Structure 1
């Protein structure tokens, strides 16, 4: 059932437009994007000013590993309902630790056939973007449909989650079945940040994991002051034979010096730029958003 809070956020996002104060920010971002051989989707929401800026905010972008945030929310919902426990041990057969994919879990437990705490699997999946961990969690809660239905049930409808990591690795086109809009991404972040979606224990657990995320250091966090708290989730595709990168993404919550925050999602898709350029697009946008929000504090 949609809560009043989620309905409020959705209404805010649906009716959002660039406020007068953000015109310069938008112009500066458009300058960054000018000449780039990529399609970029951006959404930024500032708690301090209540301003929302978006560029291609309602377009569909492939998520890649960004959807591991959605999966973590769905798993923790099952924890909060008492169907799962963070300290319970999950049996992982060796055949589920696929060899040709990114998987710190497999590196730690190369022989499989082991029991691993659910909390550890979630940490590997979100903070380290473990692909095997992702699919283990999906099997545990009933697959992608469970996650898709849960995210829709809390009021975020501009999202589709239809395939797992193994399926994306087998078929280049499969990744496009998992999509979100940039506005839906910050809407979900705001719903999470409200503290009304999960229990305090589950919220604190996931917040800590996202703040300790090891991937994407050159994206949202790349140009922010050292020590800035950023709770985020990245997504990264491979590059096709014709040199097109489908997804270099990052979504997150950035804590400002005054304790307020802004949420940001940047999706770089269909890019013929190299990864360094793609990541710099994200860090440039994040730095501009930071400067804007800090200035609004004064």
Structure 2
């Protein structure tokens, strides 16, 4: 009997010792392998998915408690308690509104106050306006500033950017080049809509190079040119499907320009969150999606010569060496007498080598066009002045 009890106790002790000696974490995976050691530490992942650090002997030095943390560099590691993961092709990045730095003991040394202060300034400014405003800024692909960034806003003509990506994708698959001509029937050229293309060529059957139609759509926000491109690729749903398949579920494209003209409330159907649009611009310019094909290259170059919205995002950049590529959107007034939307979104290349994607959406504005555009310019100024150095 005593031997039996002794054997059971011995087994329990052995199991306990085995359990104690088994690491209660896994090694963080990086580039399809175990995380590298930096300054004697590498990242580990706890059972709840939180991240910490262990030394070369396997000892836990900083318990897993961060949503994400970068490797140590010069005695500090950048960490956060919140955010979300975003796929970028074969890789991914972590987007968070609040970062801080820790030392080798896990102590918070300092917060990234600079970006927090930008966000607070934007929140204060936005709260003082009699309109619905959404702002998202992604800095160097790592840090996100957001005010109402996850709320839906009507895109208006900003959707001509994701549409252009669908055109580029279609052309790659079909072997269509920028110099190929596209037939346009007279009935496709509407007379009661914004159309510099119609103003130049009139209402008649014609053929134009794809490059010229894209220029009208992207640089001058031509509504007839936009609908010709929708017809070319097979409809607005093709653009929507590409966004969903590419991981941009918060960008919805459901109506053509002609459909929105006939039913203005369809403007609200073509919607996006500021964060989703900023992510798309970040991927296109910073991650160089614009080099995927000659048509993608052309789209990128065209938006750097955008002919609309000089009083919006570009306004505070005019006297600087910064370069902006952007796409605007402008709506009429709804039945309440408010402007449906005034938007601008793009990517800013700073002369110091840094860059940021920015999307500012304004919906249901009680102000006139000039005052609403100035709101976008003011937001652009706050961001630029905080990041230029």
Q: How does the TM-score come out when normalised to structure 1? A: 0.91
Q: Which range is displaced more, 277-286 or 80-89?
A: 80-89
Closer, same or farther: CA 290–8 of 1 in aligned 2, 3 Å: farther
8 Å contact from structure 1 (residues 160, 177) kept in 2: yes
Higher-strand-fraction structure: 2
Superposition deviation, residue 58 in structure 1: 0.8
Select which of 348, 353, 360 maps to 1:259: 353
Select which of 364, 374, 381 maps to 1:287: 381
8 Å contact from structure 1 (residues 77, 198) kept in 2: no
Superposition deviation, residue 197 in structure 1: 6.2
Select which of 172, 187, 196 maps to 1:95: 187
The whole-number CA distance in structure 1 between the counterparts of 2:154 and 2:272 is: 7
The whole-number CA distance in structure 2 between the counterparts of 1:237 and 1:8 is: 37
Asked if 1:43 corresponds to 2:136, the answer is: yes
Closer, same or farther: CA 95–282 of 1 in aligned 2, 3 Å: same
The whole-number CA distance in structure 2 between the counterparts of 1:273 and 1:6 is: 41
The whole-number CA distance in structure 2 between the counterparts of 1:8 and 1:293 is: 26
Superposition deviation, residue 290 in structure 1: 0.8
Counterpart in the other structure of 2:117: 24
The whole-number CA distance in structure 2 between the counterparts of 1:12 and 1:218 is: 33
8 Å contact from structure 1 (residues 80, 199) kept in 2: no
> Any idea what the Cα deviations from partners look like across 1:257-294, whole Å, max 9, x if unmatched?
12321110000011112212211111111111111111
Higher-helix-fraction structure: 1
Q: Which runs of 4+ in 1 moved over 4 A?
A: 6-9
8 Å contact from structure 2 (residues 196, 220) kept in 1: yes
Q: How does the TM-score come out when normalised to structure 2? A: 0.71
Asked if 1:212 corresponds to 2:295, the answer is: no
Counterpart in the other structure of 1:237: 331
> Any idea what the Cα deviations from partners look like across 1:28-70, whole Å, max 9, x if unmatched?
212322331101000001118x321001111000000000001
Counterpart in the other structure of 1:270: 364
The whole-number CA distance in structure 2 between the counterparts of 1:251 and 1:6 is: 22
8 Å contact from structure 1 (residues 76, 198) kept in 2: no
Give the 3-state SS of the residue equivalent to 2:373 in structure 1: helix
The whole-number CA distance in structure 1 between the counterparts of 2:204 and 2:354 is: 43
Give the 3-state SS of the residue equivalent to 1:184 in structure 2: helix
Superposition deviation, residue 128 in structure 1: 0.4
Select which of 318, 331, 343 maps to 1:249: 343
Select which of 156, 160, 163 maps to 1:64: 156
Closer, same or farther: CA 4–197 of 1 in aligned 2, 3 Å: farther
Matches within 5 A, 1:67-82: 67-82=159-174
> Any idea what the Cα deviations from partners look like across 1:143-196, whole Å, max 9, x if unmatched?
011000011111111111000001111112111110000110011111212124
Q: Which range is displaced more, 103-112 or 177-186?
A: 103-112
Counterpart in the other structure of 2:88: 5
Superposition deviation, residue 135 in structure 1: 0.3
Give the 3-state SS of the residue equivalent to 1:81 in structure 2: helix
The whole-number CA distance in structure 2 between the counterparts of 1:172 and 1:163 is: 11
The whole-number CA distance in structure 2 between the counterparts of 1:107 and 1:80 is: 31
The whole-number CA distance in structure 1 between the counterparts of 2:380 and 2:145 is: 12
Give the 3-state SS of the residue equivalent to 2:382 in structure 1: helix
Select which of 200, 209, 214 maps to 1:117: 209
Superposition deviation, residue 7 in structure 1: 7.5
The whole-number CA distance in structure 2 between the counterparts of 1:117 and 1:289 is: 38
8 Å contact from structure 1 (residues 223, 283) kept in 2: yes
The whole-number CA distance in structure 2 between the counterparts of 1:196 and 1:273 is: 37
Superposition deviation, residue 84 in structure 1: 2.1
Give the 3-state SS of the residue equivalent to 1:235 in structure 2: strand
- What is the CA RMSD across the aligned residues, in angstroms? 1.8
Superposition deviation, residue 240 in structure 1: 2.4
The whole-number CA distance in structure 2 between the counterparts of 1:246 and 1:209 is: 26
Q: Which range is displaced more, 122-131 or 19-28?
A: 19-28
